[in-house]
């Protein structure tokens, strides 16, 4: 399928990088500028591990796990839900994770990063005090591993709890369902908040390029993980602080990552998630043709033809010459014709044949015929007599 061609947002730098399209083809994407020397010298990555995992489906409470209980600390235990791979993070590793958290006594869920569609970052050894128990659990996990952690209140929100967000009562033991999506081990052990703007954009852009390479190898789950890691560097708190050329540079990395995740999800037939990724872009940029196209494509696959047609029509207004959009609209039109024919056959004869209009009957009476004949006869006789007289 021919892809919508959209110029990258912003342009700064000379080296070009390819951006994937929904069918695996490529389009040029300019790389953001480096700060002085090559960005590889800015953040030295010794080792990294990655994996992508979907959100757990059960929201009725902590998952029921019957695996062996592993004691990590006097106040921290772990039960394995899903195996990981590779090595475990060491001190000062930057861990990217998703987690849900419940108070053990009331089963009240007070935090869910899957629902927020944004990874959380923890630098082991530099975590917040209330995350101490969670950090102990992370240090025992491999990339891609999902586990259930039981953390005592002493290594959680403490004796006083928290009355802000998240709201946790005093002395509340905590249950975490956590997935270590991936981690980086850097010499500096830098958190995102400690990086310069150029460092964060460069780190995100490297992940985007790695994701593109994995996509071309049809490693869709690993590619999505790279894009998620890239987006994690471009969080909302960071984007709100940018303007001008730095905002353009960040969007030139962030937006393609959302769109490429959508392309992966469409290939995996996870259309609802693809629509969510496209909607994120449309919330930021109402003129993004590619986001409209991919959301329309996903909605079309779900059978939401009216919503899909609306997206394609909006995209065509912005790019009236684009052949891919016209093709999708033709496909929807053909689909509508097929549905109409099927409905016509289905309901044919349901109420019987259409009744023919009744024609008024002509009443023929012998009396009228005889009367008309007699009148005609008298007329002819009368006329003949008149002629004779004349």
Tens-digit pLDDT profile for residues 178-225: 999 888 776 555 667 778 888 888 888 988 998 899 899 998 988 887
pLDDT given at position 268 = 92
Tens-digit pLDDT profile for residues 313-337: 888 888 888 888 889 999 998 888 8
The contacts found for 24-28 with CB under 8 angstroms, 24 or more apart, are 24/215, 24/216, 24/218, 26/212, 27/3
pLDDT given at position 75 = 94
Q: What average pLDDT does this structure show over 247-276?
A: 91
Inform me whether the pLDDT recorded for 248 exceeds 70.
yes
Q: pLDDT > 90: what percent of the chain?
A: 24
pLDDT given at position 71 = 95
Q: What average pLDDT does this structure show over 129-146?
A: 92
| Exposure letters 108-131 (e unless 16+ CB within 10 A, then b) | ebbbbbbeeeebbbbbbeebeebb
pLDDT given at position 356 = 64
Lowest mean pLDDT among 53-57, 224-228, 245-249, 340-344: 53-57
Inform me whether the pLDDT recorded for 41 exceeds 80.
no
Query: Is pLDDT larger for residue 63 or for residue 11?
Result: 63
Q: What average pLDDT does this structure show over 266-288?
A: 85
C-alpha closest to that of 114 among 53, 191, 168, 192: 53
pLDDT given at position 17 = 41
Quickly state the pLDDT bin for 7 (edges 50, 70, 90). very low
Phi, psi angles (nearest 5°) of residue 49: -135, 145
pLDDT given at position 321 = 85
pLDDT given at position 45 = 34
Inform me whether the pLDDT recorded for 118 exceeds 90.
no
Q: pLDDT > 70: what percent of the chain?
A: 77
Q: d(Cα 186, Cα 196) in Å, to the nearest integer?
A: 15
pLDDT given at position 12 = 34
Q: d(Cα 95, Cα 115) in Å, to the nearest integer?
A: 19
Most confident of 37-46, 167-176, 302-311, 354-363: 167-176
Q: How far is CA 29 from CA 20, 21, 207, 224, 381, in A?
A: 10, 12, 14, 18, 108
C-alpha closest to that of 138 among 62, 72, 83: 72
Q: Average pLDDT of the chain?
A: 78
Tens-digit pLDDT profile for residues 19-33: 554 444 444 344 444
Inform me whether the pLDDT recorded for 51 exceeds 50.
no
Tens-digit pLDDT profile for residues 347-374: 776 665 666 666 655 555 677 777 788 8
Inform me whether the pLDDT recorded for 61 exceeds 80.
yes
Say if residues 75 and 154 touch (Cβ distance below 8 Å): yes
pLDDT given at position 152 = 95
pLDDT given at position 70 = 94
Tens-digit pLDDT profile for residues 291-318: 888 898 898 888 888 898 998 888 888 8
């Amino acid at each position: 399928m021919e892809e919508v061609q959209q110029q990258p947002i912003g342009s700064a730098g000379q080296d070009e990088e390819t951006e994937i399209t929904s069918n695996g083809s490529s389009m040029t994407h300019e790389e953001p500028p480096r700060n002085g020397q090559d960005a590889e010298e800015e953040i030295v990555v010794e080792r990294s591990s990655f994996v992508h995992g979907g959100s757990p489906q059960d929201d009725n409470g902590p998952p029921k796990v019957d695996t062996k209980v592993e004691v990590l600390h006097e106040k921290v235990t772990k039960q394995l839900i899903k195996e990981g791979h590779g090595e475990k993070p060491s001190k000062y590793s930057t861990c990217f994770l998703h987690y849900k958290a419940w108070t053990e006594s009331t089963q009240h869920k007070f935090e869910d990063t899957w629902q927020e569609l944004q990874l959380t970052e923890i630098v082991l050894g530099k975590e917040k005090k209330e995350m101490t128990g969670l950090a102990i659990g992370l240090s025992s996990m491999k990339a891609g591993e999902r586990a259930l952690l039981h953390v005592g209140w002493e290594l959680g929100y403490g004796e006083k709890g928290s009355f802000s967000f998240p709201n946790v009562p005093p002395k509340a033991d905590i249950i975490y369902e956590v997935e270590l999506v991936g981690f980086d081990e850097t010499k500096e052990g830098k958190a995102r908040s400690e990086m310069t703007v150029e460092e964060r954009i460069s780190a995100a852009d490297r992940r985007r390029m790695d994701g593109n390479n994995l996509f071309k190898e049809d490693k869709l789950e690993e590619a999505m993980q790279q894009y998620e890691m890239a987006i994690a560097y471009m969080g909302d708190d960071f984007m709100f602080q940018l303007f001008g050329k730095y905002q353009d540079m960040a969007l030139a990395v962030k937006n393609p990552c959302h769109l490429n995740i959508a392309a992966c999800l469409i290939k995996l037939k996870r259309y609802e998630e693809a629509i969510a990724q496209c909607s994120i872009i449309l919330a930021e940029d109402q003129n993004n043709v590619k986001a409209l196209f991919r959301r329309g494509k996903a909605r079309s696959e779900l059978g939401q033809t009216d919503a899909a047609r609306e997206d394609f029509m909006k995209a065509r207004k912005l790019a009236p010459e684009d052949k891919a959009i016209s093709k999708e609209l033709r496909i929807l039109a053909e689909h509508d014709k097929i549905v109409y024919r099927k409905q016509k056959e289905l309901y044919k004869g349901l109420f019987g044949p259409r009744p023919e209009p009744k024609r008024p009957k002509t009443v023929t009476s012998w009396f009228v015929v005889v009367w008309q004949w007699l009148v005609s006869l008298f007329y002819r006789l009368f006329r003949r007599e008149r002629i004779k007289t004349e």
